[in-house]
Homo-oligomer: A and B are copies of this chain.
Amino acid sequence: MEFNEKNKGFFINDYSEGAHPKILKRLSETNEQSEEGYGEDLFTKQAKEEIKGLLGANNQSEVHLVSGGTQANLTTLGIMLKPYESVIAPETAHIAVHETGAIEATGHKINTIPTEDGKITATQILEVLEEHEDEHMVLPRVIYISNTTEVGSCYTKKELQELRAVADDHGLKIYLDGARIGSALMTKSNDLTLEDLAKLTDAFYIGGTKNGALLGEAIVINNRELQENFRFAIKQRGGLMAKGRVLGIQFATLFDGDLFFQLASHANEMADLLREGIHAEGYKFLVETESNQVFPILPEPLIEEMEKKYVFYRWKKIDNHHTALRLVTSWATKKEKVEAFLKDLKG
A interface residues, Cβ below 8 angstroms from B: 1, 3-4, 6, 8, 10, 12-13, 15-19, 21, 24, 27-28, 30-38, 41-42, 67-75, 78-79, 82-84, 86, 97-102, 104-110, 135-139, 209-210, 214-215, 229, 231-243, 245-246, 311, 332
Q: Which residues of B contact A214 (CB under 8 A)?
A: 27, 243, 246
Residue in B8, B36, B109, B240 whose CB lies within 8 Å of A16: B36
7 pairs across A/B with beta carbons < 8 Å? A4-B35, A71-B239, A79-B83, A83-B106, A84-B100, A84-B101, A99-B136
CB pair B100–A235 under 8 Å, yes or no, is: yes
Residue in B41, B106, B241 whose CB lies within 8 Å of A68: B241
Which 7 interchain pairs have the tightest Cβ spacing?
A: A71-B238, A18-B31, A84-B232, A101-B109, A135-B231, A100-B236, A70-B238
In the complex, what's the smallest C-beta–C-beta distance from A343 to chain B, in angstroms?
20
CB pair B135–A232 under 8 Å, yes or no, is: yes
* Closest residue of B by beta carbon distance from A9: B34
Residue in B82, B101, B136 whose CB lies within 8 Å of A229: B82
Q: A84-B100, A99-B238, A238-B239 provided; 9 other pairs, C-beta below 8 A?
A: A6-B34, A21-B31, A27-B214, A70-B236, A84-B105, A84-B229, A135-B229, A135-B232, A238-B238
**How far apart are the CA atoms of A236 and B32 in the complex, in Å?**
34
Q: Which residues of B contact A86 (CB under 8 A)?
A: 101, 104
* Closest residue of B by beta carbon distance from A213: B243
**How far apart are the CA atoms of A70 and B71 in the complex, in Å?**
13
Question: Given A84-B100, A99-B236, A37–B16 Cβ distance below 8 Å?
Answer: yes
Question: Given A18-B31, A246-B214, A36–B1 Cβ distance below 8 Å?
Answer: yes
Question: Given A84-B232, A102-B237, A236-B84, A36–B67 Cβ distance below 8 Å?
Answer: no
Q: Which residues of B contact A235 (CB under 8 A)?
A: 70, 84, 99-100, 102, 135-136
In the complex, what's the smallest C-beta–C-beta distance from A58 to chain B, in angstroms?
27
In the complex, what's the smallest C-beta–C-beta distance from A125 to chain B, in angstroms?
18
Q: Which residues of B contact A100 (CB under 8 A)?
A: 84, 135-138, 232, 235-236
Question: Given A209-B242, A236-B83, A24–B21 Cβ distance below 8 Å?
Answer: no
* Closest residue of B by beta carbon distance from A84: B232
Residue of A37, A100, A138, A241 contacting most chain B CB atoms (<10 Å):
A100
In the complex, what's the smallest C-beta–C-beta distance from A252 to chain B, in angstroms?
14
**How far apart are the CA atoms of A239 and B209 in the complex, in Å?**
14
* Closest residue of B by beta carbon distance from A236: B100
CB pair A32–B18 under 8 Å, yes or no, is: yes
* Closest residue of B by beta carbon distance from A245: B18
Q: Which residues of B contact A109 (CB under 8 A)?
A: 101, 104, 110
Residue in B16, B69, B84, B243 whose CB lies within 8 Å of A34: B16
In the complex, what's the smallest C-beta–C-beta distance from A330 to chain B, in angstroms?
10
In the complex, what's the smallest C-beta–C-beta distance from A128 to chain B, in angstroms?
13
* Closest residue of B by beta carbon distance from A32: B17
In the complex, what's the smallest C-beta–C-beta distance from A133 to chain B, in angstroms?
10
**How far apart are the CA atoms of A72 and B238 in the complex, in Å?**
8
